[in-house]
Amino acid sequence: MATFCLSAFGVQAASVHLAQAVDPPPASHCLAVAANRPPMARVALGAALSSSEIRISFAGHSTFVLETAAGVTIATDYNGYAGGIIPRVVTMNHAHSSHFTAFPDPDIEHVLRGWDMGEGPAKHFLQVDDVLIRNVTTDIRSGAATMEHDGNSIFIFEAAGLCIGHLGHLHHRLTDEQYAQIGRIDILMVPVDGSFTMGHDGMLEVARRLRSSIILPMHYFGQLSFNRFLSEMGKEMDVEISQEPTRVFSLTGLPQKPKILVLPGF
């Protein structure tokens, strides 16, 4: 495994790990305008994926498990549980203990922490087989009236031609610079509690700005907050309630009109 350093998105040298030497390191395709996007294919969990597909399963709270055609498994906001598997890659945030673990399984190959570990803002730009993983940092509340700078990361996963974003524990509206660093997001994982993170109006603004075709709700605490989210965001988006926690997506299968896709479990 080779390791490179580069400057990405206007930040200082970021660590890049590649499964094999690549010169130059891979570029992000999500920072360019999308071409076509448009029904999502349903595939049983564990079925083989084509190079144009990615499987996403909701493990609960803020943890989704992504699986690529090359077999790379990634767990978001990993707190020690990923649906009974040991992922190859995990991303974590530390606003609350339910979004990270101090003791990740030693068999996890890449543990990506989304906050400052004492060496400055987290900077990730990691190629693992057929998926590129990068992050854009945001601030989080720290106490009643203060903010912790760069305490959260929005992680972006680029695979199968798709741009997939996980907002983590987002506490504030994004700046134009952050939007530029994020780029296009086709599938957006959004915390919808409306209080511990950010209000529904703010989350809707983020989804609009990122031109997301699919909204995957997460981080909600019962039917009341969830119904409020659906009543507000559902005014301008289609809503689908899935009976299964797993769905396979492709770029050509994205809907023409933005859709909220609810995977069971919260």
The predicted pLDDT at position 34 comes to 41
pLDDT of residue 44: 41
Query: Could you tell me the pLDDT band of residue 42, with boundaries at 50, 70 and 90?
Result: very low
pLDDT band for position 15 (50/70/90)?
Answer: very low
State residue 29's pLDDT score. 80
Q: pLDDT for 165-207, tens place per residue?
A: 999 877 678 889 989 999 999 999 988 765 555 666 777 788 7
Mean pLDDT of the chain: 79
At 72 the pLDDT is 97
* Predicted TM-score (pTM) of this structure: 0.79
**Is 217 or 23 the better-scoring residue by pLDDT?**
217
pLDDT at 120 over 70: yes
Helix H, strand E, coil C: the string for the chain is CEEEEEECCCCCEEEEEECCCCCCCCCCCCCCCCCCCCCCCCCCCCCCCCCCEEEEEEEECCEEEEECCCCCEEECCCCCCCCCCCCCEEEECCCCHHHCCCCCCCCCCEEEECCCCCCCCCCEEEEECCEEEEEEEEEEECCCCCEEEEEEEEEEEEECCEEEEECCCCCCCCCHHHHHHHCCCCEEEEECCCCCCCCHHHHHHHHHHCCCCEEEEECCCCHHHHHHHHHHHCCCCEEEECCCCEEEEEHHHCCCCCEEEECCCC
What pLDDT, on the 0 to 100 scale, is given for residue 200? Answer: 66
The confidence score (pLDDT) of residue 102 equals 83
Share of the chain above pLDDT 70, in %: 75
